[in-house]
Structure 1
Amino acid sequence: MTNNNKVALVVGASRGIGRQVAIDLAKNGYAVVVAAKSTSDAYATKPFPPDPNSSQSTISTVEREIREAGGQAIAVSVDTRDPDSIQRMLDETVKVYGHLDVLVYNPGAIWWASVENTPTKRYQLMQSVNALGLYASVQSALPYFKANGWKGRIIVVSPPIYSRFFRGKTAYAMGKVGMSVLTKGLAMDWEREGKKDMAITSIWPACSIESAATGQITSTDPEAVKDLRKPTIYSDAILAMLEAPVERVNGQLELDEDFLRSYKGVTDFSKYSVVPGAVPRRIMPAVMPDLTVAEQADEGRRTDSTKLRASKL
């Protein structure tokens, strides 16, 4: 079918941040594909809407929330560990809505521990859901962005690159930083290829966000809730990124608070505090390192493996 709205695919949208992003994109006129692994009978869920950070919140209930608020949405189940499942998700998105404008990749497998205390199977799971899932989603989306005249945006939930992030969670950081490397590298590809209407941007929270993951912390330390922000800060920042010029956001590794401050001029973030009047502790550095080098423009003799392989056939 043909859809005149912009179409956004939000992967990892069953609860927490992803749910909020999907709902707010719909409120702002996007037709939204709500994708994740969990499904349910949304009309049997009581009370409705469910706690957004509970297992009762699924892509089915999020789809219902959006539709009952007057928005457009479909729910598509996906296993982000499986590239074939990801391909089916992209195909279904375009089959239903006719095109793709925005891809938001939000899923995240988390295990914060030392290398010694991170089993290989846990590492494999994180790599599959985080780095591999993103890569497969981008690969499956690119032909549809090409069909759209190379016009589109990709938003990746991954961090700025700095050494403190690796401490105490090295296995997790390897995947998440890899996602940020994809943001940087794909942006450079597009710049080199003259794709002036494509942008990929990473976003990460400056302060902890209320979610199922942080709920595990506050369940044992009730005072920790004072350090949480509502997920609306994330969706507000993403909406601002989507309206920003390509040259402002392509290849950038942004923090939600800092982007809203620099691009939208926001100075008062009190409305995002979970506890009214509380000032959540910032968990990110105030200034990030510059990843460029003096020889940034010098690529030397560039190697293209696809051309090398073709020459041997």
Structure 2
Amino acid sequence: MTDLSGRTILMSGGSRGIGLAIALRAARDGANVAILAKTDQPHPKLEGTIHTAADDIRKAGGQALPVLGDVRSDEDVQRAVDATVAGFGGIDVVVNNASAIDLSKTTDLPMKKYDLMQDINCRGTFLLSKTAIPHLQKSSNPHILTLSPPLNLDPKWAGAHVGYTIAKYGMSLTTLGLAEELKDIGIAVNSLWPRTMIATAAVLNLLGGEQVMATSRTPEIVADAAYAILTKPSRALTGQFLIDDDVLAGEGVTDLSKYHAGGGSDADLQPDIFLD
């Protein structure tokens, strides 16, 4: 594949942040993007809804299908898959972008939050991927891309926030398993993770505020890396845990200064978690 023109992407989340950046990059090629997300009305602390995201996708040159629903719901996910196929004729790409985060220590983590992370991150990734597989099989270049980290078994990452680590590694185990299970039918399954913190609402509201935002990269670096992955032949790249700047280096992109949210040097950047 040379671009995503006419390709159909089904994404969980995507009203803002990294998911929206991936959607907009695809839209610039004229892709079709369906977004399954819960934000129907403006949130006091979060920019964007499925409707504003759809408008942005259309303005960028793509076709958009906002689907109000919850990736935790079997019925909502099936409805999103069915609507995407009905609206665009099939599914070429699934992007598992929806994720919940709580970095609390075990004794401080309510089980309601633990269950939320498990259900959105791990179960939601498995469910959306599973439900879309029959349609991905019909694509000429099918991809599943999950925003989750390498399976780093250094105990420090489990010990730092075991509830969240279990949920994110569950997403990554889904990548590992599905890549092996689906390799013979040519569906690529990969994970993508940023080298540094990314300037999103989660960073602003949960992970350090403006100070960390200034030492982060913009979501566009992940979007450009995702684009490079999704335009590769599916049988040539699967079962990989990819890092955004490594992907771009493989594309010959080494000057990453435009992605620095605070405009400083690389030395100022805050590394993301799960990476040594």
Match of residue 223 from structure 1: 211
TM-score by length of 1: 0.80
Match of residue 177 from structure 1: 169
CA-atom RMSD in angstroms? 2.2
Q: 1:78 aligns with which of 50, 65, 69?
A: 69
TM-superposed CA distance for 1:69, in Å, is 3.5
Match of residue 302 from structure 1: none
Q: Deviations over 1:216-268 (max 9, x none)?
A: 257x654323311110001000000012233553010111112211x212211
Contact 1:200/1:250, CA 8 A, preserved across alignment? yes
Q: Aligned ranges for residues 11-22 of structure 1 at < 5 Å?
A: 11-22=12-23
TM-superposed CA distance for 1:186, in Å, is 1.0
1:227 match: secondary structure: coil
Q: Deviations over 1:179-210 (max 9, x none)?
A: 1111111111123xx22x31011011110001
From the superposition, tell whether residues 98 and 62 of structure 1 become closer, same or farther in structure 2 (CA, over 3 Å). same
TM-superposed CA distance for 1:78, in Å, is 1.6
Name the CA distance, whole Å, in 1 between partners of 2:242 and 2:201.
23
Corresponding position: 1:99 with 2:85? no
Contact 2:105/2:162, CA 8 A, preserved across alignment? yes
From the superposition, tell whether residues 98 and 119 of structure 1 become closer, same or farther in structure 2 (CA, over 3 Å). same
From the superposition, tell whether residues 160 and 286 of structure 1 become closer, same or farther in structure 2 (CA, over 3 Å). closer
Q: 2:223 aligns with which of 235, 244, 257?
A: 235
Q: 1:66 aligns with which of 41, 48, 57?
A: 57
Q: Percent identity?
A: 33
Match of residue 143 from structure 1: 134
Contact 2:157/2:274, CA 8 A, preserved across alignment? no
From the superposition, tell whether residues 83 and 188 of structure 1 become closer, same or farther in structure 2 (CA, over 3 Å). same
Match of residue 34 from structure 2: 33
Corresponding position: 1:260 with 2:261? no
Match of residue 202 from structure 1: 191
Of residues 23-32 and 202-211 in structure 1, the stretch that sits farther from structure 2 once superposed is 23-32
TM-superposed CA distance for 1:61, in Å, is 0.4
Aligned length: 268
TM-score by length of 2: 0.90
From the superposition, tell whether residues 276 and 15 of structure 1 become closer, same or farther in structure 2 (CA, over 3 Å). same
Contact 1:150/1:198, CA 8 A, preserved across alignment? no
Name the CA distance, whole Å, in 1 between partners of 2:139 and 2:59.
33
Displaced runs of 4+ in structure 1, greater than 2 A?
Answer: 53-56, 68-71, 220-226, 244-249, 281-287
Corresponding position: 1:119 with 2:115? no
Q: Which has the larger radius of gyration?
A: 1
Match of residue 161 from structure 1: 151
2:116 match: secondary structure: helix
Q: Unaligned stretches of 5+ in structure 1? A: 46-50, 288-313
